[in-house]
Structure 1
């Protein structure tokens, strides 16, 4: 069953439920219906949070650049806070003041400390090392399929790259538990998994403290060293420093893991395009852009808020209600992309919004593009006959509110080159 089958064609409910396995496996028919009905809809998330979702390309682009919409959680009203502010104190105060939740001028000051580490020029200089890391992980795969490309490749690759980029030493990188990344998945106060959620938070916070201590004791010119030095000069608060490291460790690698899986699934669903990429590796840069557009790991943006009752594309939004932009819905808008549901690796131009837009455009976009180009190119070239080893309907999609990805990706291949 897909979302188009689960809702009557005559009208959309209010709010529109964004939940359940059919929705996560293929949200695009529902997004198409929402775009056709209008640019802004009230939606319901599994946690019980109600929000306003922006769906069309032009409306999404405008919202991402609308300086009336702020990101700071202090703008949220009591209705939003009752269900959305689920990270307990003191962790919410100590780990949630990163870039995704800040507005200028604080956002401008904090972002300036990151940008040099993720420039396209620096990323390209790292490309040979990134290729070495990709080859090392492929070398560890079985000589013939089956294999799980999440556990065997996609879960480790972006974190190894990130460690190189930010200056995380091997001994600390080896200690990082990928399970800690689940702290961004909502677990309400009455959820049976709440105790485990809080244990993850405490463990991750202790790990961040060790990262800071190591960077301070081994002062260097890497990103972690520069952030700690900025804290020691009084340019960052302790909470800002910890939150930025939290953002790097979680948001800096989990979306790339998920984007590798969504890209591979798209290629498996379009075997002619996979064959095209295998025969013409020079197509990779353009292919990456199309794969980002076609099914982005950043499905929805994080919260935005008006500080007063405001009009958004003809819909009145109360102050402090959350506004979220659907990047995936925008990237399939037929008014911007001809035949948008078709995967065309040669598509161009391709002004997708997979990395957002405006002042909150993903600062790691250049690095993510390089990682995706190298990861997909390496897997396709070194695993002849690469194919999905389970039925499409048996793919386990992560029940994340904002992102798309899979727990596992079982594949087969003829041999490992």
Structure 2
């Protein structure tokens, strides 16, 4: 894995300021660093690969409080010039047209926009759709080689969540077939001077054109689905064009890529704990509880998106300037020993398990019920139909994605005895 040049090891007794969240060792296993940060205090100044500095919240209690802190807003207009110089890397006009989604809004605008999507992701609706989701998972496994090997990202994890999402939001098959997963990489920061900038902008323009086509199609072929209702809300002037495009952008990217990544982190955790893998294969009834523990143990939403104070403020004893970005480490909070006994142990019997993998407060992930169902079906299907499922590469050869806020593997070569 080549994300950046390795960062020199810090003094073992002193955390640097800022703490660099950069390099292969960090992306491969961030938890030892998070442990050191928690022990040193709940808030640290950190440095991201793009050069952005931010304030990272690490402990469970502090994270839970920050996620509910009304002083911390999500609107990018709150960001100061220091933050904007390096963090607002999506160029205009795309930034104004595609970044007006729920993750970047505060009440009352956030409240108004969120009400348009919640009905599509209710636990009852998800449960009613489970038989269809199971059909999709089984069809993908049917297409795998009879005896392996296979790449479970390219052949399953990158496909299943998008197929499910298309069913849930009403993306027609002809458009779903043309979605390029590469477009999802527009959420991975590429600065203006980065050699990869031209390719980044090509992805961005491709995705924007696709969204325009989706809107035109749903306007011409209205149905009782989420995408049609969003387009109708725009036509009634209940949403602006920028809000509509941004919400579709969020659905297409945030609605499926994190589940792809979570399937990989869950499988890797089980491969690293063969006793737990064997137990889950033997006792499939453990799956709902196991899903919760796998979300806690190594979540795909490693860090939240930006939050900002609108004035200089105290954050758990640290003075944070107005407009500096504040980020909550969900992964660090979920390994806090003050909340989870034996936090570095994968315990499929853990209960209660109040993890923060989907956030908390008004920005709690509206698709949490869907994501849980997808993980349950994906893991249950793979373990039941691929006996002897195992990692086909060395643990050190796992390729972790270079996303700043997310966590997952780009490839997952596996072997298995046969396909049932």
TM-score, with normalisation over the residues of structure 2? 0.98
What CA distance in whole angstroms lies between the structure 2 residues aligned with 1:224 and 1:340? 40
Q: Aligned match of 1:372 in 351, 375, 378?
A: 375
Aligned to 2:3: none
Q: Is the contact between residue 7 and residue 23 of structure 2 (CA under 8 Å) also seen in structure 1?
A: no
Listed as ranges, the gaps of 5+ residues in structure 1 are: none
What CA distance in whole angstroms lies between the structure 1 residues aligned with 2:56 and 2:260? 25
How big is the shift at 1:8? 2.5
Matched, 1:337 2:340: yes
Aligned to 1:106: 109
Q: Secondary structure at the match of 1:311?
A: strand
How big is the shift at 1:145? 1.5
What CA distance in whole angstroms lies between the structure 2 residues aligned with 1:403 and 1:95? 19
Q: Is the contact between residue 301 and residue 406 of structure 2 (CA under 8 Å) also seen in structure 1?
A: yes
What CA distance in whole angstroms lies between the structure 2 residues aligned with 1:376 and 1:190? 41
What CA distance in whole angstroms lies between the structure 2 residues aligned with 1:87 and 1:4? 26
**Aligned residues: CA RMSD:** 1.0
Aligned to 1:321: 324
What CA distance in whole angstroms lies between the structure 2 residues aligned with 1:348 and 1:6? 37
* Counterparts in 2 of 1:142 and 1:287: CA distance versus 1, 3 Å: same
How big is the shift at 1:9? 2.1
Q: Is the contact between residue 386 and residue 412 of structure 1 (CA under 8 Å) also seen in structure 2?
A: yes
Q: Aligned match of 1:300 in 297, 300, 303?
A: 303
Q: Secondary structure at the match of 1:6?
A: coil
Q: Is the contact between residue 4 and residue 29 of structure 1 (CA under 8 Å) also seen in structure 2?
A: no
Aligned to 1:23: 26
Aligned to 2:258: 255
Q: Secondary structure at the match of 1:202?
A: helix
How big is the shift at 1:4? 12
* Counterparts in 2 of 1:336 and 1:216: CA distance versus 1, 3 Å: same
Q: Is the contact between residue 334 and residue 340 of structure 1 (CA under 8 Å) also seen in structure 2?
A: yes
Structure 1, residues 40-87: CA drift from partner, whole Å, max 9, x if none? 000000000000000000000000000000000000000000000000
Listed as ranges, the gaps of 5+ residues in structure 2 are: 1-5
Matched, 1:270 2:281: no
Q: Is the contact between residue 4 and residue 30 of structure 1 (CA under 8 Å) also seen in structure 2?
A: no
Matched, 1:73 2:76: yes
Size of the alignment, in residue pairs? 415
Aligned to 2:354: 351
Matched, 1:402 2:415: no
Q: Secondary structure at the match of 2:279?
A: helix
Which segments of structure 1 move beyond 3 Å, counting only runs of 4 or more?
Answer: none
